[in-house]
Structure 1
Amino acid sequence: QICSIAFKVLSLEQITANVFQPNIASIRVLQKNGFKHKGTLPNAVVKDGNDYDLLIYGLTKETI
């Protein structure tokens, strides 16, 4: 898994990913790879005139 390599080679403590609320496919990919929901920024993104929440996911080297 690329995240394992990133933790080892780059000595990272955490990897974060941001995703728009309605992007269910990306949310599932993150969850499947061990990312945990860390927080939500309500109405943080405006796209095509619509406000969307921004979900923040994180993965720590301890959880791999």
Structure 2
Amino acid sequence: PGHDRRYAIDATKIKQELGWTPKETLESGLRSTVNWYLNNRAWWQPLLSSEYQSYYQKVYQMS
């Protein structure tokens, strides 16, 4: 209860006031994001290591 069931993006106001329109559709943006993660494993995979997780918890004092 109380949680939104759906989020709808409407860029009408920003288009009217600033003339901005998105360069990506939802589908192309998701595709680009997935491709980035697939092509940049060396950047994000170390973040999954227990060493990094320990460092992160220590620096940000998370329990």
Q: TM-score, normalised by structure 2?
A: 0.24
Q: Which has the higher contact order (CA 8 A, sep 6+)?
A: 1
Q: Larger radius of gyration, structure 1 or 2?
A: 2
- Indicate the structure with greater helix content: 2
Q: TM-score, normalised by structure 1?
A: 0.24
- Indicate the structure with greater strand content: 1
